[in-house]
Each structure stands twice: as C-alpha cells, then as structure tokens.
Amino acid sequence: MKEVKKPKKPLFYYYGIVLLVLLLFNIFITPRLMLARIVEVDYGTFMKMTEEGGVGRVQVQNEQIVFTDKEETTIYKTGVMDDPGLTERLYASGASFSKEIVEQASPLMTFLLSWVLPVVVFFLIGQLISRQMMKHAGGANSMMFGMNKNNARVYVQSSDGIKFSDVAGEDEAKDNLKEIVDYLHDPTKYKEIGASMPKGVLLVGPPGTGKTMLAKAVAGEANVPFFSMSGSEFVEMFVGMGASKVRDLFKQAKEKAPCIVFIDEIDAIGKKRDGQFGGNDEREQTLNQLLTEMDGFEGAGGVIILAATNRPESLDPALTRPGRFDRRVPVELPDLAGREAILRVHAKKIKVADDVDYTQIARMASGASGAELANIVNEAALRAVRDGRQVVTQGDLTESIEVVIAGYQKKNAILTDKEKWTVSYHEIGHALVAARQTDSAPVQKITIIPRTSGALGYTMQVDEGNHYLMTKEEIENKIATLTGGRAAEEVRFGSVTTGASNDIEQATKLARAMICQYGMSEDFDMVALEAVTNQYLGGDASLACSAETQTKIDAQVVELVKRQHEKALKLLRDNRQKLDELAKYLYEKETITGEEFMRILNA
Ligand code: ADP
C-alpha cells in the first residue's frame, strides 16, 4: 500500500539509536565475551608455576600479570606484587615474554561480535516488542505503529448470501435498490443513454429495520464484493489516520470494482462540521477525505457506496449534496403487512405449528422493528424448547411478544390481596374506557400477572389496520384511556396509588405533542413550538419558544389531560356495575382475552 504514509521519524533518530547500542555493546559486552576464558589465580600459584617451569608466555602489566601455561590451553591472571627478582626467575624458568597475551580474535570474529551481533539483537528485540504491542492493541490500532492495514471486511458473494427475498417488506426500498443491482449487472444499458448511477445511496431509518440487510442483499443480488465498515471504525486517535483508512478502503474498492462499499452508522464521521473552535480535527479530516474520494471516482468505476444512519439530520450538507449521497432511501418501521412478512421469513427458520395466525401476531406487535420481530420469533422458539415441545405454537408467539414488550413473567412476585384488586381495577379501567370510546382500538388481552419490567399488569390494545394519521379525537381518546386506570382506582377505592406513573408519562407526552407539534390547540394555531431532533431515535423534541409561551403550554397540557381524566372518570362512573363485574372476573382469572372482555361488557 504505497499510499499509506507512515508517520516518519527523522533518519538520524534511527542512526542515533543504533550507534548508541553499538557503543554500549562495545564497552560492556564485547570485552567480557573475550575475557571469559581468563582464569584468575593468586600470586602464590603464579610463583609456584614459575618455579616448576609451567609458565608459557607472560606479560607484566601495570596492575596485573597475564600468563599462560606451557601448553597455552589456559590464560591466567594475577595481581602485581613487589617482587624484585621476578623477571630473572621467569627468564630462568623458560617463560617467554610476550606483549599481547590475550589473543586477538580474528578480525572477522571481532567485527561480527562487536558490530553485527548487536545490530541483530537490537533488531530482534524491536521486532518482538512491536509484535507484542500490536497483539495488545488489536487490529484497529495497529496503525499506531505505522502498520496501516485497512480492516474493511471483504464479503465475497457466496451462494448462500443474503438476497432481497430474505428482506421482508420494505418494498419501496427494495425497488429503489433493484435499480442499482441492475446497473451493476449491466452498466452499458445505462451508459448508452447517458444515465449515470448515483454514487452514494443513504439508507435512513430507525434501528433494526434492515438497513444492513438491504445493503448486503444488494451485493448478494448483484454478485459483487461487499466492503463493509462502520463509521466509528474510521475515527482514530491520531489526526489523519481515519483519512488514510478512507483512502485505503477506496483503493481496495476500486481494485475490486464493480463492488459495494457499505458504511454503517455514517453519522459517526459525517456529522456536520460546525466550525467551532477546537472542533474534532480527526473526524473532519476523515470526512473531507471521504468527500474527496467520492468526487474522485466516476460512476463508471462501478463502485457504489451505501451508507446507513438513523440520524440523517445530523449529516453534513456536503455529504448529502447531489453527486455524493444523492439518493436517500427511507427504511421505515414495517406496516402490518410488512410485519407479517418479516414474521413469516423468520418463522421459516424454526418449526411452527400449522395453525399459527401470523396476521394476529403482526397486529399485536404494532410498532415493532424487523429486529424486534426476529427476536420475538426466536423467543417463541426458546419458549417451546423450554416447555419441551417440538413446534412453536401461537401461544409461544403471543407470550414472546409480551416478553419483548413487558419482560418475563415474575414467578415469585407476591401481591397482597388489596394490591391484586387494585391492579385488576386499574387494568379494567383502561380497557373499559378504551372500549366505551368508539374510536379506540379493541382490547386484545388484559393480564394482572406481574412482569420483570415492573409492570404489575397491562392491557394490550391492537390496531385493526394500518394507521398513518391520527385525528385529534383519537389522540384525546388515547389520553383518556391512559388516565382510565387511575380513574378506576379513584372510582372504586377513592384513593390513588403509584401504579399510574407510566400512564402519566405517556399521557403528558401525547398532550404536549398535540399542542407543540400537531397544532391542535386553539391558542397557538399552526405554530411549531417544538423541534423534533431525533426523528428515528425516539423522537426527542426541544422547545423552541419563549418562556411565557412555555408557561402557557404547561397550563394547556394540564388542562387537556385533566379534561380527559374527567371524561374517563365519568365513563367509569356510568359503567360502575360493569367495572366491578369485569374487575372481579379479571381478579379471579388473572388473564382474560379481548373476547371474554367484550362478552361480559355486552352481556
Ligand atoms: P439496521 O442496520 O437497520 O439497524 P439490520 O439490518 O442490522 O438493522 O437488522 C437487524 C436484524 O433484524 C437482521 O439481522 C434481521 O434478522 C432482522 N430484520 C430487520 N429487518 C428485516 C426485514 N425487513 N426482513 C427480515 N429481517 C429483518
């Protein structure tokens, strides 16, 4: 990878280190290696050897005497003593006086020992350390040590790759992407007419709606390599590293063209450059590199970039302008038919009883994403195994929806009798208010078995069909239904409990949205008082109005909820007898279905 620039250190830095090591080696190690063969003896031994004529060669130095035996197998040394007659005695013993006893190793050996060996040792240690560090730092950070390797995974198409048929629902998104597949198959058709494909396609939608799956399916259908990387993988500790990763990715992609490059969570690098002091340099450089790369190749190259995000509003306008990510494909939460299709796709992987009613399950799981539906099917299969059954039944699926919504049943939660009555009234209150208001969805199921999420009971309502618009009355009725639980407690017991906190939260949210977002109050008409910041991630909103207006909004919210609460109270008082009857039935049965409820209500 030529393009990768390693962080360069000045050359003298390396030479300096090598030189230092050589010096140290020569000062401390080499002499020791050479002197290793020398035996130190006391002066007496030396005198004795001289007397016996055992000394071969001798050298008297200032501080020591070095000598060998006659056979010159060993070199000895000893200290110098005041010994006047020594020279004569030595001469008499037949020792020869030598200038250099410690034999010089051969010049080649010396060179190897003192110059080559240290370099080799130094090099090996360096290698070892850097390998160790790399192992610890993991693949992504290996760039710190100059080893820049892109970790875009290459998915080369295999026969069992994901196809469009594996992605249920999302027909609009699929239609949109089919064109790209077609282009990758046969670009000439498009070139003849002069049409060019969009370079980038942005898949936007809430989490778990199948964006990654769709991107993989495009690669699978087109039978081309699929490079996948998450936006956060580009963000590195050092400025310029992410940019070099981008360069690398595109280089690889161009070599493999036609191909698909998929960048998940692109908002991690594509966030608006706000130009504030001390902005994120690294991210901005990475983004700039991405922009440059996208300009750099022409559609003819056959590299198509797909990117996914659930925060499209936070993307830099330069990224979304025509010529870069110029096509935006919404991948929304599935509608009723979509949910049913997704359930069927996932149910194919497990053994399901023949009589399972997917439509009903899909209806119960309103608002669930593809990922949640996949989870629901899997939970059902797990439940079947737990109960020792061979196939998954309708009961497993409904129960697993409840598990996903409200958590597992709490086996050991012991409610007092009074509490159980309270919960019964509370839940029947919701259901009764819902049922008595014509526009509210019918009740599917009511239960007072506590769940691990903390819910002591709940009423499951189901929409009959798809709902895209809600009227003002419908929202009001919904608020009334939410207050119905508390209202029932008041009607029956004359006091209230903490059980309604979640209802209160939801009711307030709805009421606030009516006033601030939907223009459903007389006072403010069609003025937006709130700006939704995260459309796909829970839809958080921030107020955009003066403090006085806020005060008014608060007052209106209170008034609105209060009115619906009154309505619920009135409804329940009017149906007091049914309320008691149904609550008793629920208290005894603990779980009742929508039909049972309606039967008693209409009796
Ligand atoms: P996203 O990228 O939008 O967050 P994914 O594509 O990673 O979501 O989807 C997560 C999982 O959810 C998938 O592996 C798949 O099992 C399931 N899923 C989501 N949408 C669909 C769909 N339309 N059809 C089938 N399965 C889906």
Same-domain pairing of 70 and 167: no
Report the predicted TM-score, pTM, of the whole model to 2 decimal places: 0.66
State whether the beta carbon of 167 lies less than 6 angstroms from ligand 1: yes
pLDDT at 95: 83
CA nearest neighbour of 459 among 587, 591, 338: 591
Report the atom number in ligand 1 closest to the C-alpha of 203: 3
Mutate to test the pocket of ligand 1, among 164, 209, 262, 348 (most ligand atoms within 8 A of CB): 209
122 CA → ligand 1 middle, Å = 52
Q: Which pLDDT score is estimated for 149? A: 52
Look at residues 599, 570, 269 and name the one whose alpha carbon lies nearest to residue 443. Answer: 599
Distance 212 CA to ligand 1 centre (A): 7
Same domain, 17 and 67: no
* In a domain? residue 315: yes
Q: What is the DSSP letter of 333?
A: P
Pocket of ligand 1 contains residue 491 by CB under 6 Å = no
- Residue 411 is assigned to a structural domain of this protein: no
97 plus 166 within the same structural domain: no
Output the pLDDT for position 490.
94
Question: What is the model's pLDDT at position 535?
Answer: 72
Tell me which residue has its CA closest to atom 4 in ligand 1.
Answer: 208
Residues in the chain: 603
Q: For the chain, list residues with pLDDT below 70.
A: 1-12, 29-37, 101-106, 134-160, 236-238, 274-280, 297-301, 411, 413, 439-441, 463-467
Atom of ligand 1 nearest to the CA of 167: 24
| Nearest CA, atom 1, ligand 1 | 208
For residue 299, being part of any structural domain is answered with: yes
Q: Supply the CATH number for residue 340's domain.
A: 1.10.8.60
Residues 381 and 315 grouped into a single domain: no
Domain containing 67 — which CATH number? Answer: 3.30.720.210
Say how far apart CA 96 and CA 53 lie, in whole Å.
Answer: 11
572 with 463, same domain: the answer is: yes
Q: Residue with the nearest Cα to atom 12 of ligand 1?
A: 371
| Cα–Cα nearest to 430, from 240, 592, 317, 207 | 592
Residue 457: the pLDDT is 81
CA of 283 to the centre of ligand 1 (A): 28
Whether residue 566 is contained in a domain is answered as yes
Check residue 245 and give its pLDDT.
83
Please check whether residue 410 lies inside any domain of the structure. no
Q: Are residues 554 and 461 in the same domain?
A: yes
Place of tokens 């282009």: 183
Decide whether any atom of ligand 1 lies within 6 Å of the 208 Cβ. Answer: yes
Does 597 map to a domain? yes
User: Ligand 1 pocket: which of 164, 175, 213, 329 to mutate (most atoms <8 Å of CB)?
Assistant: 213
Same domain, 497 and 584: yes
- Which one of 315, 330, 345 terminates a domain? 330
Q: Are residues 280 and 227 both part of a single domain?
A: yes
Domain boundary among 105, 134, 163: 105
3-class SS of residue 186:
coil
Q: Is the dihedral of CA 282, 283, 288, 293 positive or negative?
A: positive
User: What is the CATH classification number for the domain harbouring 290?
Assistant: 3.40.50.300
pLDDT for the residue numbered 271: 77
> 119 lies in which domain range?
2-29+109-146
Locate the ligand 1 atom nearest the alpha carbon of residue 205 and give its number: 3
Cα–ligand 1 centroid distance for 161 (angstroms): 15
On whether residue 513 sits in a domain, the answer given is yes
Which three-class secondary structure state does DSSP give residue 535? coil
Q: Identify the burial level of 153 via C-beta atoms within 10 angstroms of its C-beta, where 0-12 means exposed, 13-18 middle and 19 or more buried.
A: exposed
Distance, CA of 50 to CA of 54 (rounded, Å)? 6
The pLDDT value given to residue 297: 66
206 ligand 1 Cβ < 6 A: no
**What is the number of structural domains in the chain?**
5
> Domain for residue 412, yes or no?
no
Specify the ligand 1 atom closest to the Cα of 214: 6
Give pLDDT, residue 488.
95
Q: Which residues are catalytic?
A: 427
* Residues 20, 57 share a domain: no
Residue 352 DSSP one-character state: B
Q: Tell me: do 574 and 439 sit in the same domain.
A: yes
> CA 492 from chain center: how many Å?
49
- Token readout for 544 is 């955009």
User: Which has the closest alpha carbon to 116: 12, 22, 35?
Assistant: 22
pLDDT on residue 424? 93
Task: Choose the final residue of a domain: 382, 405, 428.
Answer: 405
pLDDT at 183: 85
The verdict on 421 and 560 lying in the same domain is yes
Residues 392, 534: one domain?
Answer: no
